[in-house]
Amino acid sequence: MRLRRFRRTPTLRRLVRETRLSPDNLVLPLFVCPGAGVEKPVGSMPGVAQQSVDRLVETCRAAFAEGIRTVLLFGIPEHKDATGSSAWSSDGIVQRALRALTSDVPGLVKIADVCFCEYTSHGHCGPTSEDGSTVKNDETVQRLVRQAVNHAKAGAAVIAPSGMMDGTVGALRRGLDAAGFAGVSILAYAVKYASAFYGPFRDAADSAPAFGDRRSYQMDPARGVEEALLEARLDVEQGADMVMVKPAGPYLDVVAAVRGAVDVPVVAYQVSGEYAMLEAASRNGWIDRERAVLESLLSIKRAGADLVITYYAELLAKLIEK
Residue 1 binned pLDDT confidence (cut-offs 50, 70, 90): confident
Residue 147 lies in a domain: yes
Choosing from 80, 110, 246, 301, the catalytic residue is 246
Q: Per-residue pLDDT averaged across 180-194, rounded?
A: 95
Range 67-85 average pLDDT:
87
More confident residue, 259 or 219: 259
Is residue 40 in some structural domain?
A: yes
Q: Quick one: pLDDT at residue 299? A: 97
Q: Does the residue 283 lie in any domain?
A: no
The pLDDT, as a whole number, for residue 153 is 97
Q: How many CB atoms lie within 10 A of CB 94?
A: 28
Strand, helix or coil for residue 158: strand
Q: Is 170 within a domain?
A: yes
89-120 residue pLDDT tens: 888 999 999 999 999 999 999 999 998 777 87
pLDDT recorded at residue 14: 82
Task: Give domain status of residue 139, yes or no.
Answer: yes
Query: How buried is 9 (Cβ within 10 angstroms: 0-12 exposed, 13-18 middle, 19+ buried)?
Result: exposed
Question: 254 in a domain, yes or no?
Answer: no
Exposed, middle or buried: residue 170 (CB in 10 Å: 0-12, 13-18, 19+)?
middle
What's the pLDDT score for residue 178?
97
Considering 68-82, 138-152, 263-277, the range whose residues carry the highest mean pLDDT is 263-277
- Determine the pLDDT at residue 129: 64
Rounded to an integer, the average pLDDT of 47-70 is 96
Q: What pLDDT sits at residue 213?
A: 62
Candidates 136, 192, 301, 318; catalytic one: 192
- Tell me the residue type at 307: L
* Measured distance CA(109)–CA(107) in Å, rounded: 6
Model confidence at 271, pLDDT cuts 50, 70, 90, reads very high
C-beta separation of 118 from 135 below 8 A:
no
Q: How far apart are CA 60 and CA 69, in angstroms?
A: 9
**Tally of domains within the chain:** 1
CATH number at residue 158: 3.20.20.70
Comparing 131 with 202, which gets the higher pLDDT? 202
Taking the whole predicted model, whether its pTM rises above 0.85 is answered as: yes
- Average pLDDT rounded to a whole number, residues 72-88: 82
272 touches 204 (CB < 8 A) = yes
Q: Does residue 281 lie within any of the structural domains?
A: no
- Residue 311 is assigned to a structural domain of this protein: no
CB 96 within 8 Å of CB 142? no
Does residue 192 carry a catalytic annotation? yes
Is the pLDDT assigned to residue 49 strictly greater than 90?
yes
Higher pLDDT among residues 136 and 47, named by residue = 47
Q: Per-residue pLDDT tens for 11-26? A: 888 888 888 899 999 9
Residues in the chain: 322
Q: Does residue 142 contact residue 107 with C-beta atoms inside 8 Å?
A: no
Average pLDDT over the chain reads 90
In this prediction, residue 115 carries a pLDDT of 84
121-172: pLDDT as tens digits: 666 666 766 666 677 778 888 889 999 999 999 999 999 998 778 899 999 9
The answer to whether 190 and 225 have CB atoms below 8 angstroms apart is no
Catalytic, 318? Answer no
Is it the case that residue 210 has pLDDT exceeding 70? no
Q: What residue numbers bound the domain in which 181 lies?
A: 16-241
